[in-house]
Amino acid sequence: MVAIAILAVIAVLSWRGLDQIIRGRQTITNAMEDERVFAQLFDQMRIDARHAATDDESGQAAVSVSGSVLQIVRELDLPDTAPRLQVVRYRVSDGRVIRYASPPLGNVGELQGALRGGEGDGWSAVPLMGGVGSIDARLFVPKVGWTTQMKDVQGAITEADNNLKVPQLGGAPLPRSVTGLEVVIGATSLARPVTRVFLVGE
């Protein structure tokens, strides 16, 4: 009886240890998967921000925020074709971050149509991350700092346009109104939101 009792205790302890190992392995696996998904999302954002068009090319702020939607007008280089522009939008839909991308845009009319319209025919939609509760973005505007107000961005564009009228600055390129992008994502799997900062047009 004593031997049976000892074996029973050993079995219970062994089971608890095995159960903890299995749970620990599952926790690590989930954490690694979350890290992979975050890396994929932020890497795509970094690429889009790095290839952001200039405000001259886009005819407005190349990087903008409106509510929970982040929009980037980016340059798109395709093999054996002239450079094109593309409108990219990140938005949260049913708890998932989705990257919408327009088809390559070859002229001002197509660009303006993509900027004014929604994600219609020809747009691609790629889900990048689930379990997201919120996505927030701030823009860095020189002389202003971090802001979520597009009026600050428009003010920088207007000031740059006015400076071009000054004779000694007439040949200078129009500077970017937005030089930095900060993205904050809150997810159900996170104890606190994750923040990343990207350079625009680096």
Q: Buried b vs exposed e over 25-34: b needs ≥16 C-beta within 10 Å?
A: eeeeeeeeeb
pLDDT in tens, 105-164: 988 889 999 888 888 888 999 888 888 877 889 999 999 999 999 999 999 999 888 877
Distant-in-sequence, close-in-space partners of 167: CB < 8 Å, separation ≥ 6: none
**188: in domain:** yes
Does residue 4 lie within any of the structural domains?
A: no
User: Phi-psi category of 7—alpha, beta or left, where left has phi over 0 and alpha has psi -120 to 50?
Assistant: alpha
Whether 24 maps to a domain, the answer reads no
Answer whether residue 127 is part of any domain. yes
Could you tell me if residue 23 is inside a domain?
A: no
Q: Is residue 26 part of a domain?
A: no
Query: What predicted TM-score, i.e. pTM, was given to this entire model?
Result: 0.78
What is the DSSP code string of 3-15? HHHHHHHHHHHHH
Residue range of the domain that includes 194: 31-199
**Number of domains into which the chain is organized:** 1
In a domain, 63, yes or no: yes
Residue-wise burial string across 120-130, b where 16 or more C-beta atoms lie within 10 A, e elsewhere: eeebeeeebbe
| pLDDT tens digit sequence for 11-35 | 666 666 665 666 655 555 544 455 6
Q: Does residue 5 lie in a domain region?
A: no
